[in-house]
Amino acid sequence: MINNFTGHLRTINRHKALVMKYCFKAGLYRQGLMHDLSKYSPAEFITGVKYFQGDKSPNTAERAEIGYSRAWLHHKGRNKHHIEYWIDYGQTGDKKMTGIKMPVNYVVEMFCDRIAACRVYNGDSYTDADAYNYYKRSREHYMIHPETDRLLRRLLIILRDYGEETAFRYIRKKILKNY
């Protein structure tokens, strides 16, 4: 049986390799290389080993045990491809937190991240609809800027309905054409 250390390391390496592949397909070479490097830091890696399950994020198990995830708080604060990185006080004067519009290159990296996570955790049962379905189930609790939400949903729907090749062609020709 694979121990937690080896299992977690394999999982994050596979995830990182897939995100890199997808970022390269989109033309985001630096982001592909730099994606999720914080997962190798002690603050995130030790938690990943301790709570490794293989079929879902260790952060979920840490949350269940202590009420929050230290690893997730560390991760989301260092990785701009996460919606949660882009939450701040709005400019309306009411001091409410709000989702800030994400730069399109980070929305595309988030799209790549979601495909890779679904592929890793769903294994052989993965379909191109998985990332959209996951987003749809989770969307209601996100604090996300409406334009960021529209772009991410559009990309996920293209993936779901037309597949990876069409989705990445659309990203290169329409979304990142001037990037």
User: Which structural domain, as residue segments, surrounds residue 160?
Assistant: 4-175
Q: Write out pLDDT tens, residues 127-170.
A: 999 999 999 999 999 999 999 999 999 999 999 999 999 999 99
150, 111, 149, 105: which is closest to 130 by C-alpha? 111
Identify residue 144 by its one-letter amino acid code.
Answer: I
| Beta pairing partners, 89 | 97
How far, in Å, CA of 134 to CA of 124, rounded?
17
What integer best gives the mean pLDDT of the chain?
95
Structure tokens at 51: 């709570």
